[in-house]
Amino acid sequence: MVMIFTFTTQLSETTQRAIYTSTMIDYMDQAGTKINALVALAGIGIDEDEVVVTADSTRLVFKTMWSYDNDVLTNAEHTIDLSVETGMSDLGNVITIKQDGALLSNPAYVSYIDTYIDSLKVKYYGYILYVESMKFEYFDEDDNLTDEEEDIRSAGIELTFKRDAVGLVSRPLRTSLYIRCFFMNSYMRMGV
Amino acid sequence: MGRAMLIFVILMTTIFAGVLINLNNKLSEMPTVLVRNTLMREAENVSDFALRNAIRNANSAAFLNYHLGTPPFTDDVHHTQVFTDYKVGNCIIDSLQYSFYNDEDHYEVGSYVRGELQGIKVGRSAKMAFDYPFQGLSSRPNVLYLEMERLILTGLLKALSDFITWLIPGAAYNNDVTDTSGNNHTTTIYSEALLAATIPWGGAYSRYCVPFLGGYEGWFDLFGATHMVVARDTTVANPIQTDSSFSLLCFAKIDNAGRPGHVNEQGTLLWIPSDPHSNDLKNKPSAAIWFNQSDKTMHFTVTQEDETMLDLSVDHDSYGTRSNIFSWFFSIPILNSNLEQYPWNSYGLSYNNGILKGYINGVRVGTVTGDAISAYHSEYGMSLGRRDIRTAGGGVSKYRYFLGLMDQMGMHDRALVDSEMQGWHNGVLHPATIMYVRD
């Protein structure tokens, strides 16, 4: 009897962890796609050496002529601020995306993103949830690590997500993703 | 003992079966995750494929000739390829969009793709632009914008064109003055003047402008002096109306010498009449930009709803001794070499609830403040090149025809701020281009 109980419980937990891991990977994949699409806007209409405003290990601020909030190209420069905020959600830390200092607010745009990535469900505009940490490193055009804002042509982003599985609160699941986002618009301008 | 064991086995089997069913239900979600990820990757690749095709088409002379005509293009050209069932794997390419700004080297393309697999749906769009001007993307006057990017036939040439069309149906020349604000206002040129000149100035993308041969009784004025009228159309999304906030804009080269015999009659650029039938209001436009030849002053005028006229007058003699653009052979005007040497000047007017501002070449040249009320509501559209006066008497001098060239005439439904006026001026003369990719 003990063996059957143990086997059943173990099977249940293992399966639930597998399920939650897969859904987290799915969520993480979509979050990575979203961040990659966001960083791809960097430098639209901006001189390549003026694109990055702030390049910290936990925060990236860049300039673009694309209004992310309205999803349209404009005549004005915008700053996009990508960082992790703590204590803003019950669902872990969140990645906030600010445009010109303000959190994204356009529900139409968020719904567009929902369509774009299909089932990405974000509770707060511009937020990506379940985040434990986000770390940046930066590279120049020759893929050498750099801290000089004017030399940055790509960013490596390591995302770590943490989520408590149902019934397994004491044993949270962690999944990590490393994505390399290239500032293609800066490269295009360099080629002129 | 045996009965107890049987009950226990049944109980355990039931529990075990319940757990398995529960796990099975949850495990069934796994393929959904996999399907979505697979579909997203596929859509990404198909999007790249579609965008590649769009760029290739945009660089294909055969494609452009077939769909858009032979470059160079006149106007801001847009074309959408819509596909009904262009399937690539599990994705469908819905459409490719092309926008060209005057020629084949300045373009923006976009692709729209969607995918569906086992009930999971994804959508994806991508855009790429090469040397596409910002002027073509935004900041376009949203009430009226006459960019004059098409050769317009007038007078005898138009009559000849009409005759050819009559002989050969289908050979009609597109003689519309295009309103690129999106409102498609109808514009009529009253003239027996020159054909609209092919003037390669006025901005890198401006090939044409309108020569206004002010005056009357000239050799070319068989059917009336040159001017244009934009009919008021309340059915469009953004009709011409003078209310509490709006802006007027245009570029011009003013012939400072004036027409012989009518020197002091210069010259009306843009004129929105308040009430052209009223003797009291005929010279009080709801809004106007006009030049006074006799004292070389530029005027920015708005009549308010209480019939108070605000007028900003500033000295303006930008061409100095190089005064004339047209030389005259008897009454026949001939564009002379000064035309090439004279720079284009821009003129702007903004009105915001009692505050009138005038701009020359993007720089604010003055402000006049009245009561914080609306401008006089006009219902007569806009006249370009002469005043819209419909009262009897007064001779032709009352119209104050314009002599010179005009281009990029427009109207906004709001008061532009200083930086926007400067931006518009710079954008027309030196359009900033952009290349970008967004996928």
pLDDT in tens, chain A (192 residues): 777 778 777 777 777 777 777 777 777 887 888 888 889 899 998 888 999 999 999 999 999 988 887 777 777 788 999 988 877 666 677 788 888 888 776 544 343 333 333 444 444 444 677 788 899 999 999 999 999 999 999 999 998 988 776 665 567 778 888 989 999 999 888 865
pLDDT of residue B62: 86
Pick B30's closest partner by Cβ from A22, A44, A65.
Answer: A22
**Interfacial B residues in 109-148 facing A (CB < 8 Å):** 120-125, 134, 137-139
Q: With beta carbons under 8 A apart, name residues in chain A contacting B427.
A: 75
Contact B122 A4 (CB under 8 A): no
Pick B16's closest partner by Cβ from A8, A116, A118.
Answer: A8
Q: Distance of alpha carbon B199 from its chain centroid, rounded?
A: 19
pLDDT of residue B196: 47
Judging by beta carbons within 10 Å of its beta carbon (0-12, 13-18, 19+), is residue B59 exposed, middle or buried? Answer: middle
Contact B137 A73 (CB under 8 A): yes
CA separation (Å) from A100 to A105, A175, B236, B311? 12, 31, 34, 39
At residue A126, what are phi and psi to the nearest 5 degrees? Answer: 80, 0
Please give the residue range of the domain that contains residue A8: 2-190
Q: At what angle do helices A2-39 and B2-27 cross, to 10 degrees?
A: 10
In sequence order, which residues have a C-beta less than 8 Å from that of residue B81 and are 6 or more positions away? Answer: B57, B67, B95, B96, B97, B98
Can you tell me the ipTM of this complex?
0.72
Q: Is A119 part of the contact surface with chain B (CB cutoff 8 Å)?
A: yes
Mean pLDDT computed over every residue of chain B: 81
pLDDT of residue A167: 62
Minimal-distance CA residue of chain B relative to A39: B438
Q: With beta carbons under 8 A apart, name residues in chain A contacting B438.
A: 40-41, 44, 66
Q: Is B7 part of the contact surface with chain A (CB cutoff 8 Å)?
A: no
**Token digits of residue B357:** 């501002």
Number of domains in chain A: 1
Judging by beta carbons within 10 Å of its beta carbon (0-12, 13-18, 19+), is residue B96 exposed, middle or buried? Answer: buried
Q: With beta carbons under 8 A apart, name residues in chain A contacting B10.
A: none
Is the bond preceding residue B72 a cis peptide, omega within 30 degrees?
yes
Q: Report the percent of chain B where pLDDT is more than 70.
A: 79
Pick B438's closest partner by Cβ from A12, A40, A75.
Answer: A40
Minimal-distance CA residue of chain A relative to B16: A8
**Token digits of residue B8:** 């226990």
Q: With beta carbons under 8 A apart, name residues in chain B contacting A66.
A: 436, 438
Q: What share of chain A is helix, strand, coil (3-state, %, to 5)?
A: 30, 40, 30
- What is chain B's pLDDT, residue by residue, as a tens digit (439 residues)? 688 888 888 887 887 777 777 767 766 666 777 788 888 889 989 999 999 999 999 888 888 888 877 766 655 678 889 998 899 999 999 999 998 876 788 888 999 999 998 888 888 889 899 888 765 555 678 899 887 765 566 656 666 767 777 776 665 555 667 787 878 888 887 764 444 444 434 444 455 566 666 544 443 443 445 778 898 888 888 899 999 999 999 988 888 777 777 778 888 999 999 999 999 999 999 999 999 988 889 999 999 999 999 999 999 986 766 667 777 777 667 777 777 777 888 999 999 999 999 999 999 999 999 999 999 999 999 999 889 999 988 787 888 888 888 888 899 999 998 878 887 887 777 767 788 888 8
Q: Say how far apart CA A180 and CA B373 lie, in whole Å.
A: 56
pLDDT of residue B170: 61
pLDDT of residue B413: 93
Best mutation target among B10, B438, B439 (most A Cβ atoms within 10 Å) is B438
**Token digits of residue B14:** 């039931």
